[in-house]
Structure 1
């Protein structure tokens, strides 16, 4: 895969579709590599007339790591002491604009999932002139009174790093079942194969911890979102245990004209059965440009 230079970083990326089509950049979530945007999902979007780009955020996958930074203190960050925050979501949104620059995009459509939704929200606040449309998927505003996780889902997300490859795969399968779509449970063989491939591609739990610190330290985006004047859609699963649907509702309420799409049976994942509806919402959003 190619690598783009962005703000002194190297970002691993992959493209789908015709370069002459409008660019659509996909931003993934906490600790998630570009491969979590399934190839089939990207191909569906490309078939609808987009030059699709998926990439590894900083500190994950095959992009630049920040292992020279001290470990963040999540408890202190939650308490308001931001001194150990390695970077913020605004830095990650700047990375995305740097990717635009490296690929020659004056403007692009963006869609982000989970932490990626937070990043594209930050993009809309900080760099509205570089965006054509925004789709925020299974995300929230940063207001701690909305979008809370269930205790089981939070435990699955924040489990300590595994000691071995086999332990990581087993624990990741269990965690994915906790956060998956209740109406569309994943097939275990397919889930295990994807988790194994991602582990073998790149395993970097220290980067995921720093990304979690960035989310915690970045605070509430609600007031910034009130000023956003772009075509925006907010997609969320009605049964999401990791980010409650209240996070999506707050996002849509903050952005004038935003479309809210709540999908029954969807959890904190992108089940293949719902790809057509998710793709259709993204296409509808881009058409409002």
Structure 2
């Protein structure tokens, strides 16, 4: 297993990351979703990318995994329900700045980006604000911030309204319960693997994570980003499931419509989970995008 490494970035947070794959391969940066750590990208997926020659970097966003917790009060449930972030709350732009500063720390001038859910929003923001740093963009079951699209199902909102788990066992049970709702019968999860993963995340992250409400606030603070997405110039792939109960498929469609020239792939039966049955397809699609976008510069290491 690759070692956790740490980078103290100028914006303040200490970011935890891992690097795998050939040192001279094009860099693929994977950005995790809401409350998730870098291990939420399955090892089989990472191995698929490194097998195609990518140098894969995964990292914990601020307020997740082993990266810094931000010393500001979390918004209460009422603020979250009313989408009224606390004054001074960080937003997706700050999370995008963390991403750029991690690339700077690693000496990576240009990278392929792939993000899921909130990670897709961060990747979109990086691509819009730092076009020279992004070789390609893959946005996975994400959305634009437009409140009329990508909304979670009411049944999902009710499940997310519960307070945080207090033990590793409770956290694992909560994860499996939510997964039984937002996961797919077409692409079922490996329950034993998911239980082991949830338990390991609890231990790796040090138990209760108070940062999730702040990440929710970051999304809410950023509002509708549709106009910003129109500035993206990187070749873009938007992947979504047609049965997603966490981010409605309209979010993926709106993202693809906003980004000029984006390719939209809607996978029948896929929901809001990187299930074993979709991993090979995601590797294929992302690799194909990178190869299609190659130039002589990137073939000689320009994405490093």
TM superposition score category, shorter chain reference:
over 0.9
CA 1:61–1:286 in structure 2 vs 1: closer, same or farther (change >3 Å)?
A: same
Partner of 2:119 in structure 1? Answer: 116
Partner of 2:261 in structure 1? Answer: 257
Is residue 72–residue 85 contact of structure 1 (8 Å, CA) maintained in 2? Answer: no
User: Cα offset for 1:9?
Assistant: 2.0
Is residue 181–residue 266 contact of structure 1 (8 Å, CA) maintained in 2? Answer: yes
User: Cα offset for 1:80?
Assistant: 6.1
Partner of 1:190 in structure 2? Answer: 193
In 2, Cα distance between the equivalents of 1:288 and 1:219?
32
In 2, Cα distance between the equivalents of 1:111 and 1:224?
18
In 2, Cα distance between the equivalents of 1:94 and 1:148?
26
Is residue 156–residue 178 contact of structure 1 (8 Å, CA) maintained in 2? Answer: no
Partner of 1:145 in structure 2? Answer: 148
User: Cα offset for 1:89?
Assistant: 0.6
In 1, Cα distance between the equivalents of 2:189 and 2:247?
19
> Which of residues 172, 196, 208 in structure 2 aligns to 1:169?
172
Is residue 26–residue 53 contact of structure 2 (8 Å, CA) maintained in 1? Answer: yes
| 1:29 corresponds to 2:29 | no
User: Cα offset for 1:62?
Assistant: 0.4
User: Cα offset for 1:166?
Assistant: 2.2
What TM-score does the superposition give when structure 1 sets the normalisation length? 0.95
Partner of 1:43 in structure 2? Answer: 47
Deviations 1:215-270 (Å, cap 9, x if unpaired)? 11111110011121110000011111000110000000011110001111111011
Is residue 182–residue 239 contact of structure 1 (8 Å, CA) maintained in 2? Answer: no
Partner of 2:128 in structure 1? Answer: 125
Is residue 84–residue 220 contact of structure 2 (8 Å, CA) maintained in 1? Answer: no
> Which of residues 260, 270, 275 in structure 2 aligns to 1:271?
275
Most deviating of 112-121 and 152-161: 152-161
RMSD: 1.5
Unaligned stretches of 5+ in structure 1? none
Is residue 85–residue 210 contact of structure 1 (8 Å, CA) maintained in 2? Answer: no
Counting only pairs closer than 5 Å after superposition, residues 1-289 of structure 1 correspond to structure 2 as 1-7=4-10, 8-66=12-70, 68-73=71-76, 75-76=78-79, 79=82, 81-84=84-87, 86-202=89-205, 203-289=207-293
Most deviating of 79-88 and 189-198: 79-88
Is residue 149–residue 241 contact of structure 1 (8 Å, CA) maintained in 2? Answer: yes
In 2, Cα distance between the equivalents of 1:22 and 1:72?
39
Is residue 38–residue 59 contact of structure 2 (8 Å, CA) maintained in 1? Answer: yes
CA 1:74–1:254 in structure 2 vs 1: closer, same or farther (change >3 Å)?
A: farther
In 1, Cα distance between the equivalents of 2:187 and 2:88?
36
User: Cα offset for 1:276?
Assistant: 1.4
Aligned residue-pair number? 288
Most deviating of 206-215 and 77-86: 77-86
Is residue 143–residue 247 contact of structure 2 (8 Å, CA) maintained in 1? Answer: yes
Unaligned stretches of 5+ in structure 2? 294-304
